[in-house]
């Protein structure tokens, strides 16, 4: 229930009470919101009283008589609008001329209603104002939420970028102080750690650029008919070296050609992120299967591994930005926490979806579905 | 300083390998013997075999409050071992607490809470102070 504050400003007392009565039991509903509206109504008979009450109650809607004993309604209107309040003003006028209505609207009134009017007329006019108010509030709430999410993202990002800098700085000052003596070879572990942290930082920045490019929509998508299997092969080629170091085999299972209308770069990012995850979170000498299938207007991509897997709870958090599963098994694995969020964002561009099946210590299977109706036979 | 640190065993538990390596190097140079663990579990195994003179624990490891659980565990088997908990949680999660009031001390089973990033001199000062108090 949303309570809207209404102030009726009219020197005719019977008019004030008639309006109060008409709105007291009125509980309209605004379409597409769950909000039911009720009104709390106050009245003022003079301009002086009106200003005092406006100050005090900060009304959402003002019903304002065109003529008051101590000031004209238009002057009050100008004063209210000057204060940049979000309050909507409905002018009540006895002179049902177009001229007065126009001057009221020009001065910033939301609407006008001509005396005499029925309770039904009044409700109709008030309802329009209510719709306007609720809509404006929803837009504001949404903007505010977006802003908060953005701030949170930037704040986490700041920490993610600061952490490797702290680590590198720590090592460099130890080296500068010659904490392990004069022999350079004593410092190899420290230098190696610095390089690892720099590499992690670079990956984070690359992921971040991917993510902002997708989100901003500024990068021109270069859609064309591409062979998805080709793209997968390129990705496997990219990651093969890393995999072979740990005896992990990547197996591509697909027909030779599966065409889809897509942006080549986007699909490559999907494969790179999923396959490198499947390698990173695998056991030594494990396997990674990459499967691509086309069926009924969709391209199904599946990347399965024999890795450490994860619990149902962890699976739920997986596609959020900066989510990394922290446990004994993942503590030595570096990642930006953005990879899967990026995969999800790209899948969204294709009206598709991402899902995961996983069992701890057995492995994980990621499925990406991309919608593409152009290549159906 | 050297008197206090001579042959004293410091246990450091942190899943941040870089913090571990750097603190170990500096503590060794200050004359301490260093025991390391990268998780609560690993630390508990190590504690069954060895008793440190003081423990430095990271708060967030495999669980958000792993440091607290581990501190509780240490105080149970070695009541006289002082515990320092280091944490970055205030800046990362907005959680805020320290072990200065009696009420906080009663549920945070640690002697000192320090905020990351932490200067080694500050850590060393706390270690020496707690070891002298013993």
Map out the domains of chain A with their CATH numbers: 2-143 (3.40.50.2300), 222-371 (3.30.565.10)
From the CA of B28, how many Å to the nearest CA of chain A?
A: 10
User: What is d(CA A224, CA A238) in angstroms, rounded to the nearest whole number?
Assistant: 23
Range(s) of the domain holding residue B80: 2-133
Give the pLDDT of residue B46: 95
The residue behind tokens 């494969």 is A271
Residue A167 in contact with partner chain B when CB distance is under 8 A? yes
ipTM of the complex: 0.82
> What tens digit of pLDDT does each residue of B4-49 get?
667 899 999 998 899 999 999 999 999 999 999 998 899 999 999 9
Contact A328 B62 (CB under 8 A): yes
From the CA of B102, how many Å to the nearest CA of chain A?
A: 31
Residue B24 in contact with partner chain A when CB distance is under 8 A? no
Do residues A36 and A29 touch, judged by C-beta distance below 8 A?
yes
> Quick one: which of A202, A204, A206, A183 has its CA closest to A194?
A202
For residue B66, what is the domain's CATH number?
3.40.50.2300
Please state the domain count of chain B.
1
Give the pLDDT of residue B108: 63
> Quick one: which of A345, A89, A70 has its CA closest to A219?
A345
Locate the chain B residue with the closest alpha carbon to A330: B62
The residue behind tokens 């900060």 is A58
Per-residue pLDDT tens, chain A, 377 aa: give them.
889 999 999 998 988 999 999 998 898 888 777 778 899 999 999 999 999 999 898 899 999 988 888 888 888 888 877 666 788 999 988 765 678 778 888 888 899 898 888 999 999 999 999 999 998 888 999 899 888 888 888 888 888 888 899 999 999 999 999 999 999 999 999 999 999 999 989 988 988 888 888 777 766 788 899 999 999 999 999 999 989 999 999 999 999 999 999 999 899 999 999 999 999 999 999 999 999 999 888 999 999 999 999 988 888 888 877 767 666 667 667 777 788 988 998 999 899 999 999 999 999 999 999 998 777 65
User: What is d(CA A193, CA A199) in angstroms, rounded to the nearest whole number?
Assistant: 10
Cis preceding-peptide flag for B28 (omega within 30 of 0): no
3-state secondary structure chain A: CEEEEEEEECCCHHHHHHHHHHHHCCCCECCCCCCEEEEEEEEECCHHHHHHHHHHHCCCEEEEECECCCCEHHHHHHHHHHCCCCCEEEEEECCCCHHHHHHHHHCCCCEEEECCCCHHHHHHHHHHHHHHHHHHHHHHHHHHHHHHHHHHHHHHHHHHHHHHHHHHHHHHHHHHCCCCCCCHHHHHHHHHHHHHHHHHHHHHHHHHHHHHHHHHCCCCCCEEEEEHHHHHHHHHHHHHHHHHHCCCEEEEECCCCCEEEEEHHHHHHHHHHHHHHHHHCCCCCCEEEEEEEEECCEEEEEEEECCCCCCHHHHHHCCCCCCCCCCCCCCCCCCCCCHHHHHHHHHHHCCCEEEEEEECCCEEEEEEEEECCCCCC
* Cβ-based contacts of A171 with chain B (< 8 Å): 18, 21-22
The residue behind tokens 């100050």 is A55
- Exposed, middle or buried, A232 (CB in 10 Å: 0-12/13-18/19+)? buried
Phi, psi of B72 (to 5 degrees): -60, -45
Contact B17 A190 (CB under 8 A): no
Contact B22 A189 (CB under 8 A): no
Q: A247 CB contacts (<8 Å, ≥6 apart)?
A: A284, A285, A286
Q: A105 CB contacts (<8 Å, ≥6 apart)?
A: A111, A112
The residue behind tokens 């906080």 is B104
Contact A170 B29 (CB under 8 A): no
Query: What number of other Cβ atoms are within 10 A of residue A84's Cβ?
Result: 7
User: What is d(CA A13, CA B122) in angstroms, rounded to the nearest whole number?
Assistant: 74
Give the pLDDT of residue B109: 67
Considering only the beta carbons, identify the residue of A179, A189, A328 that sits closest to B39.
A328
> Quick one: which of A252, A340, A256 has its CA closest to A302?
A252
Considering only the beta carbons, identify the residue of A179, A197, A332 that sits closest to B29.
A179
pLDDT confidence tier of residue B97, bands split at 50, 70 and 90: low
Give the pLDDT of residue B82: 94
- A–B: how many Cβ contacts below 8 A? 41
Query: Which DSSP letter does residue B112 get?
Result: E
């Amino acid at each position: 229930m949303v309570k809207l504050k209404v102030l009726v400003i009219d020197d005719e007392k019977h008019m004030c009470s008639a309006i109060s009565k008409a709105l007291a039991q009125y509980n309209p509903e605004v379409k597409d919101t769950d909000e039911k509206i009720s009104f709390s109504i106050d009245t003022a008979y003079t301009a002086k009283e009106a200003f005092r009450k406006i100050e005090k109650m900060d009304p959402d809607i003002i019903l304002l008589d065109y003529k008051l004993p101590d000031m004209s309604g238009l002057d009050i209107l100008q004063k209210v609008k000057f204060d940049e309040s979000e309050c909507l003003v409905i002018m009540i006028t006895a002179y049902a001329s177009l001229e007065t209505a126009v001057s009221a609207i020009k001065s910033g009134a939301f609407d006008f209603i001509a005396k005499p009017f029925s309770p039904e007329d009044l409700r109709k006019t008030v309802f329009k104002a209510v719709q306007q108010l609720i809509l404006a509030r929803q837009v504001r709430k949404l903007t505010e939420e977006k802003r908060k999410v953005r701030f949170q993202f930037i704040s986490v990002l700041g920490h993610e970028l600061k952490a490797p800098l702290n680590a590198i700085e720590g090592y460099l000052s130890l080296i500068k102080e010659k904490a392990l003596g004069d022999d350079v070879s004593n410092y190899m572990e420290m230098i190696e750690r610095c390089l690892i942290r720099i590499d992690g930082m670079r990956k984070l920045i690359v992921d971040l650029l991917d993510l902002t490019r997708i989100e901003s929509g500024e990068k021109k998508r270069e859609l064309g008919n591409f062979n998805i299997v080709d793209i997968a092969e390129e990705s496997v080629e990219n990651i093969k070296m890393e995999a072979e170091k740990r005896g992990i085999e990547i197996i591509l299972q697909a027909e030779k050609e599966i065409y889809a209308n897509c942006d080549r770069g986007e699909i490559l990012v999907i494969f790179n992120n999923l396959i490198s995850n499947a390698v990173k979170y695998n056991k030594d000498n494990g396997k990674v299967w990459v499967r691509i299938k086309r069926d009924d207007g969709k391209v199904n991509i599946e990347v399965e591994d024999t890795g450490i897997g994860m619990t149902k709870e962890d699976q739920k958090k997986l596609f959020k930005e900066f989510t990394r599963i922290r446990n004994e098994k993942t503590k030595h694995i570096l990642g930006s926490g953005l990879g899967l969020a990026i995969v999800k964002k790209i899948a969204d561009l294709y009206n598709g979806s991402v899902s995961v099946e996983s069992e701890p210590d057995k492995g994980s299977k990621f499925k990406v579905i991309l919608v593409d109706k152009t290549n159906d036979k | 300083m050297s008197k206090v640190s001579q042959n004293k065993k410091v246990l450091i538990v942190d899943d941040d390998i870089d913090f571990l390596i750097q603190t170990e190097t500096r503590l060794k140079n200050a004359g301490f013997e260093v025991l390391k663990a990268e998780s609560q579990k690993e630390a508990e195994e190590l504690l069954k075999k060895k008793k440190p003179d003081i423990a430095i624990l990271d708060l967030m490891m495999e669980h958000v409050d792993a440091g607290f659980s581990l501190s509780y565990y240490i105080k149970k088997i070695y009541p006289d071992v002082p515990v320092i908990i280091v944490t970055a949680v205030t800046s990362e999660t907005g959680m805020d607490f320290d072990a200065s009031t009696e009420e906080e001390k009663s549920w945070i089973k640690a002697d000192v809470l320090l905020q990351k990033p932490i200067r080694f001199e500050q850590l060393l000062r706390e270690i020496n102070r707690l070891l002298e108090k013993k």
